């Protein structure tokens, strides 16, 4: 049996953080996404245990301030793109408002740390979300283009092909074939 699921990254991470901090008896307060205030002095051993438990879930404790800002940029972009309600404002304006820094500063830090541009990261996230939406088969390509703030279906299709090496239609055919194969193998 195959099941498609939708999940909320923020909710999952919050739940994992709460469970792991509670299991170690650490008093804390969750702040913004990706920020935890530890309300007590903890031993190096307990801190090491916490880091190890979080790493098991792919959660890494960040110490470098530039890396922290880059993670906040990535989180803001993912939140913007994967939002239930489409955000129809320029990404540069959205990020500057959300993070409280000029877009030029944000862009420079992002490029220094990741060796890629914010624009490229946004495109990759949009294409990943487009693939998820295509797999769920609930929206047309026109609806997906609108939801992801593309000027046209052609623009989405071009970026999709440049990123994945195939058109959205080719991608849908591959998914359909896989579904047919999966159904036949269960009979």
H-run or E-run covering 107: helix 103-114
Q: Give the relative orientation of helices 153-164 and 168-186 as an angle to the nearest 10 degrees.
A: 70
Query: Residue 152: which pLDDT band, with cuts at 50, 70 and 90?
Result: very high
**To the nearest whole percent, how much of the chain has pLDDT over 70?**
97
For residues 176 and 137, the answer to whether their CB atoms sit within 8 Å is: no
For residues 152 and 160, the answer to whether their CB atoms sit within 8 Å is: no
pLDDT higher than 90, residue 65:
no
Token pair for 15: 């739940």
Please give the model's pTM, rounded to 2 decimal places.
0.69
pLDDT higher than 70, residue 107:
yes
For residues 45 and 53, the answer to whether their CB atoms sit within 8 Å is: no
Per-residue pLDDT reduced to its tens digit, 14-28: 888 899 999 999 998
Please, what is the average pLDDT of the chain?
88
| Mean pLDDT of the 85-99 span | 89
Q: Read off the DSSP letter of residue 38.
A: E
pLDDT higher than 80, residue 75:
yes
Per-residue pLDDT reduced to its tens digit, 54-64: 899 888 887 77
| Mean pLDDT of the 87-101 span | 91
Query: For the chain, first and last CA: distance in Å?
Result: 11
């Amino acid at each position: 049996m195959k099941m498609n699921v939708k999940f909320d990254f923020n909710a999952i991470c919050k739940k994992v953080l709460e469970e792991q901090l509670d299991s170690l008896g650490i008093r804390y307060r969750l702040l913004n996404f990706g920020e935890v205030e530890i309300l007590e002095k903890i031993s190096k051993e307990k801190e090491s245990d916490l880091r190890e438990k979080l790493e098991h879930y792919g959660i890494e404790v960040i110490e470098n301030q530039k890396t922290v800002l880059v993670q906040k940029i990535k989180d803001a972009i993912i939140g913007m793109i994967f939002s239930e309600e489409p955000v129809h404002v320029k990404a540069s304006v959205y990020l500057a408002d959300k993070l409280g820094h000029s877009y030029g500063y944000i862009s420079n830090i992002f490029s220094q740390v990741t060796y890629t541009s914010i624009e490229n990261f946004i495109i990759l996230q949009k294409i990943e979300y487009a693939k998820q939406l295509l797999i769920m088969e609930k929206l047309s390509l026109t609806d997906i283009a609108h939801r992801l703030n593309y000027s046209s279906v052609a623009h989405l299709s071009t970026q999709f092909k440049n990123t994945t090496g195939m058109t959205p239609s080719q991608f849908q055919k591959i998914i359909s074939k896989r579904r047919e194969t999966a159904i036949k193998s269960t009979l």
